Amino acid sequence: MTNGWIDIKNTDMMLIMGGNPAENHPCGFKWAIEAKLHRNAKTIVVDPRLTRTAANADMYVQIRAGSDIAFLGGVINYAIQNNRIAHEYLVNYTNAAFLIKDGFKLPEDGLYSGFDAEKKTYDKSTWNYEEGGDLTGKPPAPTPEGQNAPAGQGAQHSDTGKGLGYQAASPTGAKAGTGAPALPPNIAFDLSLQHPRCVFQLMKKQYERYTPEMVERITGIPQAEFLKAADLFTSVRKDGDMKKVATIIYAVGWTQHSFGTQIIRAAAMLQLLMGNVGRAGGGVNALRGHSNIQGATDMAGIFDILPGYLKMPNPNDVDLATYLKRATPTVSKPDPWDSFNYWSNTPKFTVSLLKAMYGAAATKDNDWAFNYLPKIDRNYSWVNIWNDMYEGKIKGIFAFGMNGVMIGPDSNKNIDALKKADWLVVCEIYPDETSEFWRAPGITADDQKKINTTVYRLPGAGFAEKDGTFVNSARWLQWKNAAVPPPGLARLDQEILATIFLKVRDLYKKEGGKFPDPVLNATFAYTTPYNPSLSEVAKELNGKALADITDPKTNITIKAGQQLPGFAWLKDDGTTSSGNWLYCGSWTEAGAMMQRRGTDDPSGLGIYPNWGWSWPMNRRVLYNRASCDGGGKPWDPQRRQVWWDEAKQSWVGSDVPDFKPDSAPKDHMGPFIMNPEGIGRLFVPLGAMADGPFPEYYEPIESPIANPLHPAQSSNPVVKKYKTDMDKYGTLDQGFNVVCTTYRLTEHYHYWTKNNPMNVQLVPEPFVEVPAELADRMGIRGGEKVRVTSARAHYIAKAMVTRRIRPMKIDGKETFQIGIPIHWGFRGISEDEDRTAKTLANQLTPTVIDPNAFTPEFKGFLVKIEKV
C-alpha cells in the first residue's frame, strides 16, 4: 500500500476492484466503513461477482474477469475528456509534460514500437524520453532522420536483460537500475502539455480508443452504468477542486492475470492523473493476502531481488562495480527541476547487506564478498520452478509455509512434477496435499509403487506458537508474542532452518565442495545458533555500526557495535551492516520500534506514529510531499500530513516527510524520490515493463472473444506459453464457453481451515457459483453436483445458483461467468469424511504468467460446465 489500512478512513471515494476486502480482509475493512460513517465516503465495487464487499457498496458494477484494463482505460479517458484531472499536480509531479522520443509508436495494432515477433520481446529503445530541455510553447520540431533507429544506449539496455527473461521488481516501480543509465540527463518537456509527443498527449491518444462503447464491448458493463461509475469516481476532481481524495484498493484479483502488473499500472496512472497519490485517503493500495506477505516480499522471498528490493546479480555482473553500475540509477530530469533519486544510495545498501551476510569475510579487497552472492541465470519464478521440476531439471524442493500442489496453477502438473523429484521436504502443521501428493485422487496403488520421491515431513509450528513480526499491507512491522508453545515434537521454523543450515555447513567443512566459501563464511552469530532468537535476527536486519561513524553535518557519532537509527547512516565503505536497508530504523539503540504500542494519534489522521514501525523510516503515507501544492501547502488543510515550514526551512508534519527535509519548494524537487526523474510515471520509460510503457488492454490467454481493440493481437504479445505435454490451453471452439474465476471465502483461510471443525461448520463443502440463468439453461438446481472442465482437468462440486452473477453481453455475445472458491483439496475434515469430490480448484487453472511479476492467471480462464 502507498498508504495504510487506517488511512482508508480519510478517503472520500473508494474504488475497490480486483479485491474483496470485506471477505478477505474483514478487520481492515472497518476503515472503509469508518470513511462511510464519518466522511460520507462513497464506494464503487467492480467485480465479476456481487461479493460481500459489493453488498456494502454504493455502486456495484459487474465486470468480465480479466477486462480490468479496459475499464480503467475508459475511466482515464473519461477523466481527461471531462477535465476531471489535477492539472498542477499532473504538470509538476508526473511525467505528463515530458517528451517521448520520436519513433515511439502507440499500440493501435496491439504492439508498441520495437516488437520482435520471433523472440516475443520488445526492443525498448524508443520507449524513452527525448533529450532537450524546455520546449514549452515551442512548436514541435521536424523529425530528424535516423531517430527512429534504436539509439546506442537503448540497445545497450536491452542487452542487459538478454537471455534472462526476467526483470527485477522494486516496491516503487523504480526498477533499480534496469536501463536507468540510458535515460537522458536533461529531459525535454512542454509544460503546456500540448506537444504531440508529450506523455499527456500520448496517453490521451492511447485511451481515446477506450470509449464507453469499447468498454461495454470488452467488459460487458453497459455504457450507462460505466459512465455512472466513471462520473462518480472522478467526481472528487470536479471543477479542478483538489480538496477531495479518492483511493483505489485492490488485491490478487488484479495481479493474477497475464497482464496483472499493467492493471496496477493503469490504476496508478489514474491516481496520478487525478492527483490522489501521496495524500491521506488516497493512493494505490494493495491488500496483501496473508499476514506477512509484505514481509516475505521485503525480505526477498522472490527470486529476482535481494532484501530491500535490491536487484539480484546476474552472470554479467562480473564484479561489484559492474553490478552497482547496472543497479544504481543516475538522475534524469528536466534541467530546471531537482531530483533526489534515492536509489543512488544503492551501493551503501548493497555493501551494508554484504557486511550483514558475510561479516568479517566481506572486505574491500574481495569486493565485500560480492562473488558469494548467487548470480541468477534464468527465471526462477514459481511456475518455472514447477515446470523445471516437471522437466526433470529440479530434483527436490523445500516446501515451508505453503501447499505447492494446491497453489497451482495446474495442480496436476505440480503433482506429476513431484513424482519426478528425488525428494521433497514439507514443513507443515497438518498433513497436506503436497506432502501427500502421492495419494492424490486417481493415483492407484500400482501407480504409487512407481513413485520414488522421498518425502520428509517436518512438524512446524503454527502462527500462534511463534513470536516475531508480521509486516502488514501498510508496511508496518508489528511484533507479536507466542501464545502457546508448539505441541509435541513440533519445532519453530528458525530452529528447523538453522539446524539444516548448520548441518550443511558441517558437511561443507568436512567434505569441502565446489564453492564452500559462502556457506562457511555466512554470519551466524546468534546466542543459540541451533535456535536463533528472532529479536537477534530483527536487530541484525536493522543493522549496526561496525566502526565509529560520525555525521559531518550534525557531528553526531554512533559507536561501533551500536544499532543504527536509520538507513541514512548506511555506508558503502564497510563501516555499517544492515540485513535490509528498508528495515533500518526498526530496532535502534532506543529499543525495538517494531514492538511499540503507543496509541496516541495527535493529528487524528490515524497515523499512530508510536505504534509499531513502518518502513521507510516510520512514514505512514509514501510520497507524502505530493499532499502539498507546489508551494508546500497541503491541498486540503483539513488533512495536513506534511508541509513546508518556511521559518525552519524544513519539511515538517504529522507524518514523517517522505522527502529531502531541507529541499525548498522553489527547488522543484519531485515528490517521487525513488524514481530517477523524481516524478510519478504515467509513461514508464525503457525496461521497467516488459509489455509496454502504458497499459494496453489484452485478452486473457483463454478468452471468449478476440480483442475488439486489435483482434490480430488479442492477448499479451510478450507472454510465453509453456510447452510440456501438460500445458494445454482451451478455446471457445473446443467448447470452453464459460469464463471462470477463483477466490477465497471469509470463512476459510487458504488450505488450513479445512482442518478446523469451526470453519468447516461455517462452510462445509466446496461449491461453484453459477448464474441463475445459466443454471436454468443447463437444468442445474442449487445443491446439485456440477462438473467444471477446463483444457487441463475437471472439478466437481455442488452448484450455488445465484442471481449475484448475471449473464453478460461480451462483444455482443451472451457470456456467462462462474466462480470457484479454492479451499478444498483431498485432505481435510470434509475430504476425509468423503463429503467432497476431492478435486482441486487449481487443477483447472492455466500455466501462464504475467511477464513482469510472473504471477499465474488464476482469474479469467475458460471452462465448460455440466450437471453430473
Partner 1 sequence: MTDRKTLQTEKISGHSGPSPGLGMQRDFEVCKLVDTTTCIGCKACEVACVEWNDMPFGMTTFDNTYQTMPETRWNFWNLIKFNEHQREDGTIQWLMRKDQCMHCADPGCMAACPADGAIVKYTNGIVDFNQENCIGCEFCVSGCPFNIPRFNPGTKKVYKCTLCSDRVGEGLEPACIKACPTGCLKFGSKDDMKFIANERARQLKENFGMENAGVYDPQSVGGTHVIYVLHDATDPERYGGLPKNPTIPWSYTVWKWLFKPVLGAFALFGGLGVLMHYVSVGPRRPQPEPPEKEAANGNGD
Report, in Å, the least distance between residue 264 CB and partner 1: 24
Report, in Å, the least distance between residue 22 CB and partner 1: 4
Cell numbers 562495480 label which residue?
Answer: 321
Report, in Å, the least distance between residue 78 CB and partner 1: 22
Q: With respect to partner 1, which residue has the nearer C-beta, 767 or 861? A: 767
Contact 57, 45 (CB under 8 A): yes
Report, in Å, the least distance between residue 756 CB and partner 1: 10
Query: b/e per residue, 341-377, with b = 16+ CB within 10 A?
Result: bbbebbbbbbbbbbbbbbbebbeeebbbbbbbbeebe
Q: With respect to partner 1, which residue has the nearer C-beta, 476 or 767? A: 767
Q: Biggest alpha carbon distance in the chain? A: 82
**Which of 285, 390, 200 shows the shortest CA–CA distance to 17?**
285
| Cell numbers found for residue 435 | 506432502
Query: b/e per residue, 415-435, with b = 16+ CB within 10 A?
Result: bbbbbbbeebbbbbbbebbbb
| Cell numbers found for residue 656 | 514523517
Q: With respect to partner 1, which residue has the nearer C-beta, 387 or 836? A: 836
Q: With respect to partner 1, which residue has the nearer C-beta, 62 or 627? A: 62
Report, in Å, the least distance between residue 448 CB and partner 1: 31
Report, in Å, the least distance between residue 280 CB and partner 1: 21
**Which of 119, 75, 673, 581 shows the shortest CA–CA distance to 348?**
581
Report, in Å, the least distance between residue 701 CB and partner 1: 30
Q: With respect to partner 1, which residue has the nearer C-beta, 236 or 385? A: 236
Report, in Å, the least distance between residue 746 CB and partner 1: 5
Q: With respect to partner 1, which residue has the nearer C-beta, 19 or 154? A: 19
Report, in Å, the least distance between residue 433 CB and partner 1: 21
- Over its C-alpha atoms, the chain yields an Rg (Å, rounded) of 27
CA distance 161 to 690: 11
Report, in Å, the least distance between residue 353 CB and partner 1: 38
| Cell numbers found for residue 466 | 511463534
Q: With respect to partner 1, which residue has the nearer C-beta, 37 or 504? A: 37
Report, in Å, the least distance between residue 486 CB and partner 1: 22
Length of the chain: 868
C-alpha distances (whole Å) from 797 to each of 486, 789, 829 are 35, 12, 16
Report, in Å, the least distance between residue 782 CB and partner 1: 3
Q: With respect to partner 1, which residue has the nearer C-beta, 30 or 204? A: 30
Q: With respect to partner 1, which residue has the nearer C-beta, 54 or 701? A: 54
Which helix or strand (DSSP H or E) is residue 758 part of?
A: helix 757-762
Q: With respect to partner 1, which residue has the nearer C-beta, 169 or 229? A: 229
According to DSSP, the residues that pair with 796 across neighbouring strands are: 787
Q: Cis omega (within 30 of 0) on the bond before 616?
A: yes
CA distance 694 to 206: 8
Q: With respect to partner 1, which residue has the nearer C-beta, 196 or 783? A: 783
Contact 135, 195 (CB under 8 A): yes
According to DSSP, the residues that pair with 43 across neighbouring strands are: 14
Q: With respect to partner 1, which residue has the nearer C-beta, 34 or 131? A: 34
CA distance 465 to 235: 48
**Which of 403, 400, 401, 397 shows the shortest CA–CA distance to 419?**
397
> At 770, which amino acid appears?
V
Report, in Å, the least distance between residue 401 CB and partner 1: 24
Please, which residues have CB within 8 angstroms of residue 858's CB and are 6 or more apart in sequence?
Answer: 252, 256, 408, 409, 741, 742, 842, 845
- 3-class SS string, 119-140: CCEECHHHCCECECCECCCCCC
CA distance 769 to 756: 23
List residues binding partner 1 (CB under 8 A): 22-23, 26-27, 29-30, 33-34, 36-37, 40, 50, 52-56, 58, 60, 746-747, 757-758, 760-765, 767, 782-783, 798-804, 806
Q: With respect to partner 1, which residue has the nearer C-beta, 22 or 844? A: 22
Please, which residues have CB within 8 angstroms of residue 651's CB and are 6 or more apart in sequence?
Answer: 625, 632, 642, 643, 644, 645, 657, 659, 660, 661, 662, 663
Report, in Å, the least distance between residue 406 CB and partner 1: 20
Q: How many CB atoms sit inside 10 A of residue 318's CB?
A: 12
Report, in Å, the least distance between residue 768 CB and partner 1: 11
Which helix or strand (DSSP H or E) is residue 808 part of?
A: strand 808-810
Contact 215, 811 (CB under 8 A): no
Q: With respect to partner 1, which residue has the nearer C-beta, 675 or 759? A: 759
- 3-class SS string, 538-597: HHHHHCEECCCEECCCCCCEECCCCECCCHHHCCCCCCEECCCHHHCCCEECCEEHHHCE
**Which of 554, 547, 12 shows the shortest CA–CA distance to 564?**
547
CA distance 348 to 331: 17
Report, in Å, the least distance between residue 63 CB and partner 1: 15
Contact 650, 625 (CB under 8 A): no
Q: With respect to partner 1, which residue has the nearer C-beta, 495 or 765? A: 765
Contact 464, 483 (CB under 8 A): yes
Report, in Å, the least distance between residue 51 CB and partner 1: 8
CA distance 651 to 673: 15
Report, in Å, the least distance between residue 787 CB and partner 1: 16
Q: With respect to partner 1, which residue has the nearer C-beta, 36 or 681? A: 36
Q: With respect to partner 1, which residue has the nearer C-beta, 201 or 235? A: 235
Q: With respect to partner 1, which residue has the nearer C-beta, 42 or 355? A: 42
